[in-house]
Structure 1
Amino acid sequence: MVQKESINPSPIPPIVETNDEPIKIHVYDDNGYLPIHRAAFNGHEVTIKNILDEAQKRNELTQQLEARTHDINELTPLLLATAAGRLDIIAYFLTYPVNFNAVDANGH
């Protein structure tokens, strides 16, 4: 009788999933964007509201509103909404204490 060896083809540990949104809102993607940047660029007001509500609970509102993209442009969420022509998102951001004088890395 031949004994089979237990072979583990993948030494990668299991992925631990979490629903901890406060952690996820601080994670930059491969393009250097936080979730708030993606939401601002794509016009997802409900997502922005959820992110900012959570940030406000943690006294991190300014941190989210002024977060810069980690790319050559260094855009805030408001600047991204402006670049994308998302007038409704721009108006929404202006209901918060956002720096409407912010400029990108190129001074624009």
Structure 2
Amino acid sequence: MESREFIEMARKVVDVEPRTRERGADEITDRLSAYSPSQASALATLLSAAAASEGEVSALESQLHAILELTSTGHVDLNHISQLHDIRLQDLPSQLREYVTDLLDS
């Protein structure tokens, strides 16, 4: 992926608008084969940080799904997504709790 495209993806992930963050996470999953190993791990790290502070359930779900998809590339390990530990599981709907638990257990 070209640098310009990568930066645009990163901007969407950290945008102030929840809908933009959600769309950004969804777009990340659409382009899994386009990322270099370092881009995949960097996006997973950004998504993890965004998810740890996300207040919108739909955006959080998209972020967690994108992280899960990025882990399938083989370029993301637990160190890249460690900020998921900051998420208060008891505050999440059960489906999202399972996402977080599965990611941290993998």
After TM superposition, the score normalised by the length of structure 1 is: 0.38
More helix by share: 2
- Compare CA radii of gyration and give the structure with the larger one: 1
Higher RCO by CA contacts (8 Å cutoff, separation 6 or greater): 2
